[in-house]
Amino acid sequence: MAERVGLLVFSDGSVLQGKGLGASREGVGELVFNTSMTGYQEALTDPSYAGQVLVFSYPLIGNYGISAQALESRQCWVNGVIVSEAAAHPFHYESTNTLDAFLQAENVPGIAGLDTRALVHKIRAGGVKPVSLDVVDASEVKMRTKQLLAIAKNFDYSAINFVEKVCVPNTTTFIPEQADKTVVLVDCGAKTSIARNLVERNCTVHQVPYNTSAKDILALKPDGVMFSNGPGDPEQLHTTVSACKELLGQLPIFGICLGHQILGQALGGKTFKLKFGHRGSNHAVQDVNTGKVMLTAQNHGYAVHKIPAIADEWLVNCLDGTNEGLTCDKYDAFSVQFHPEANPGPYDANSLFDKFLEKI
């Protein structure tokens, strides 16, 4: 069998070679990194990673294999995967596959054997950059390098509406054994764990597409509305922001991650792109009122700034001071930039689901 080479090409012309992993096909995306020590499968199936090539900073990925219990959506959404070492012989009682086989089945290209620490330093120093990658035979490297460079240079992450690619096409309903309340979950790329947390709290959940109108949301007669996490530039989501704005004051609203940015815009705030984002399961966030610090799971490349006068800053990131949470008492709405469902991650913020349910 011919040697499979993993070829990574940056839009600035930098080229790296490693061992081919996963599917033998090209991928293009924004190169980002995740610092979590566990949870690689949850990250790979998190829709928020659509349009991105993911670098895992932890040196060994795939050591506990792949499990059907750890999927956060219907498929793997990353456009490429970079690891230092991919475990060839995983060990876990729920494991059914290797990382390499999983990526092949999901048609996702990857590269092993690269210095991921150096890649993280490159991203932190220069910010996220477009890259393209492919898994090729050694004889194809020279030809493909030129082609991949052109592909990387032509990629513009912020110009693409990734949310429409990852959200549910039609309304999906989850009904618990004892339904007490009804929540509409506006799917901008929602992780499965969000709906699961609501169902576990006896909520009927109507998961609706991101572009569902306020009128159609209200027709479902919800007690509250959640706007989910998701990929891409929040300024692409005019329809979703308009629906959120129309719903303000009509029923309680909770925004998570991209949903936080949507609520921020609906209240009159602005968003901006971070240099390299926050992605990992150990990000410290502080309550500006109480001083309490939570460890949180995060995955986002944009943040809210120019906090609208009608809202109060509630939480801030302990590392860079960026906004991590808003409250708006007038409209009974609040939002967080991180993931309270935290799969994977710490459960410090899991009680925010209860905070939301207390409002409804």
pLDDT tens digit string along 234-281? Answer: 999 999 999 999 999 999 999 999 999 999 999 999 999 999 999 999
Burial category of 235 from C-beta neighbours within 10 Å (exposed 0-12, middle 13-18, buried 19 and up): middle
Number of domains in the chain: 2
Active site residues: 257, 339, 341
Given phi > 0 = left and psi -120 to 50 = alpha, else beta, which region is 23?
beta
14 and 56 together in one domain: yes
- Helix and strand numbers (H, E) in the chain are 10, 19
261 and 179 together in one domain: yes
- Which of 158, 185, 207 corresponds to the end of one domain? 158
348 and 205 together in one domain: yes
205 and 133 together in one domain: no
292 and 342 together in one domain: yes
Question: Domain residues for 228?
Answer: 163-359
213 and 293 together in one domain: yes
CATH code of residue 332: 3.40.50.880
Q: What are the tokens at 342?
A: 């935290």
Please name which of 243, 225, 265 lies closest in space to residue 359, comparing C-alpha atoms: 225
13 and 88 together in one domain: yes
pLDDT (tens digit, 9 = 90+) per residue, 49-99?
A: 999 999 999 999 999 999 999 999 999 999 999 999 999 999 999 999 999
15 and 154 together in one domain: yes
Distances (CA, A) of 220 to 177, 201, 209, 263, 301: 19, 19, 13, 20, 32
184 and 290 together in one domain: yes
pLDDT (tens digit, 9 = 90+) per residue, 182-229?
A: 999 999 999 999 999 999 999 999 999 999 999 999 999 999 999 999
227 and 334 together in one domain: yes
Using CA of residue 195, residue 197, residue 199, residue 202, what is the dihedral sign? negative
241 and 108 together in one domain: no
